[in-house]
Structure 1
Amino acid sequence: MADSMFSSSASAKDSASSEIGSERTLYPYVTGTSVLGMKYKDGVIMAADMGGSYGSTLRYKSVERIKPIGKHSLLGASGEISDFQEILRYLDELILYDNMWDDGNSLGPKEVHNYLTRVMYNRRNKFNPLWNSLVLGGIKNGQKYLGTVNMIGTHYEDSHVATGFGNHLARPILRAEWREDLTFEEAVKLLEKCLLVLLYRDRSAINKFQIAKITEEGATIFPPYALKTFWGFAAFQNPTKGAEGSW
């Protein structure tokens, strides 16, 4: 009888432990949209809006999705905000552990990007992915670096990258107009052109943006600002024109 009660109790405990152990992000709830990044003359520049969507509702309007990582890197994220916070905790531990060596060296953007690709691929293999697409840029010893990695570990380096809708709508503009010798002012103007296209076409984008840059002097994240918009285009005023007979 006692054995039976113990067995039953242990079984219930195991079941409860199993349920607790299976808590994870099964579906992204609060998400951010596109992040844009590109190299320019003096370093790397990134841009993202500050919206956080709860499903299809634009719930939060001051979400910072670009963060400095160590001395040489900037990280931008689209996707699930809570998973981005978890990634930042991983990176805090990584940078702290690296600093504890006190050997005069510090992790550069390439090392951080490689670390993130391993983390994302490892979590994907456990069927417990971090629901983010990341942009990692930086500069160390005069070498500019820019790369991206998504939730299943697919990663690459390029002179300009984008996540989310930006990968479809902004990168064609960047391919056509990006130059390696862009000044900071020209780079900002090009990013603003891309952000405006995303604002018009991506329902999750809002007109509150942050731009960040990283150079040999360090990282700078600028205060948020809005872009001037124009909604008088004929396509916006009569979106069903040419679609007679549809719904």
Structure 2
Amino acid sequence: MESGGVKLSLWEDGPKPGHFYSFPGSSSSGPGTACGPVRHTLNPMVTGTSVLGVKFTGGVVIAADMLGSYGSLARFRNISRLMKVNNSTILGLFSHQVAAFLLSSFLGYVDKLGVAYEAPTVATGFGAYLAQPLMREVVENKVEITKQEARELVERCLKVLYYRDARSYNRHEIAIVTEEGVEIVGPLSSETNWDIAHMVSGFE
């Protein structure tokens, strides 16, 4: 395009007025494809739900379930979302973001926007609403928390998430980081009880 003899390079390869931009490498071609069906499901994104972390005396416990979802479809049921980086660092993967738990001597969180903070308990996803209050209640009422107490706490929170979060799954891993190094335990499953499920009604 030229305007008064000046070449406007910004719009040189751009769309014509009223048309859509044709991205390089896209399969659509021709003028009629702009009005075709939306095909988001041809490239679905695998997402995960909550990652939990609790700091205890001498280390950190991190837990996540092993489900990878396509929207509401429980597609992959054996994905490890805890990754050992080295003997003092674990990454917990959450959706297309990374919740980073850097564990030399602290528990921290970093999201895709660069928001970062350090805390004695961390939870992502729906766990930020359901599990975080449970973890804070235990940690804030104790001067010190042991490794066993921290592990039992995240297991309890994972069970609550399995009951209450539709994108959660009853198969999980737990990572324990101490001065001795990183230990990833699992896959594990929580004992569940659905005896009162027939009594839940009124929201159909």
Q: Same fold (TM over 0.5)?
A: yes
Query: In structure 2, do the counterparts of structure 1 residues 30 and 65 end up closer, same or farther at CA, with 3 Å as the change threshold?
Result: same
1:219-247 Cα deviation digits (max 9, x unpaired): 111121111001123xx324433x5xxx7
Structure 1 residues 131-169: Cα deviation after superposition (integer angstroms, max 9, x where no partner): x14131312xxxx21111222222211011000011000
Q: Is the 8 A contact 1:162 1:171 kept in 2?
A: yes
- Higher helix proportion (structure 1 or 2): 1
| TM-score, structure 2 normalization | 0.75
Name segments (4+ residues, structure 1) moved above 3 Å.
none
| RMSD over aligned Cα atoms | 2.6
Read off the aligned partner of 1:34 and give its amino acid letter. S
From 87, 91, 107, the equivalent of 1:75 is: 91
Report the identity percentage: 40
Hey, what does 1:136 align to over in structure 2? 101
The aligned residue for residue 190 of structure 1 is 153
Query: Deviation per CA, 1:25-60, whole angstroms, max 9, x where unpaired?
Result: xx9711111000011112011000000111111011
Alignment correspondent of 1:52 = 68
Among residues 135, 141, 156, which one is paired with 1:174 in the alignment? Answer: 135
- Residue type of the alignment partner of 1:211: I
Map 1:221-240 → 2, pairs under 5 A: 221-233=184-196, 236-240=197-201
- Unaligned ranges ≥5, structure 2: 1-11, 16-21, 27-42
Cα 1:171–1:216 change in 2 (3 A) is same
Amino acid at match of 1:162: A
Match status 1:148 vs 2:113: no
- Bigger Rg over Cα: 2
Where relative contact order (Cα < 8 A, 6+ residues apart) is larger, the structure is 1
Equivalent residue for 1:19? 23
Give unpaired runs (5+ residues) of structure 1: 1-10, 81-131
**Cα distance change, pair 172–21 in 1 and its aligned pair in 2 (3 A):** farther
Instruction: Decide which structure has greater strand share.
Output: 2
Q: Is the 8 A contact 1:41 1:180 kept in 2?
A: no
> Could you tell me the TM-score, scaled by structure 1's length?
0.62
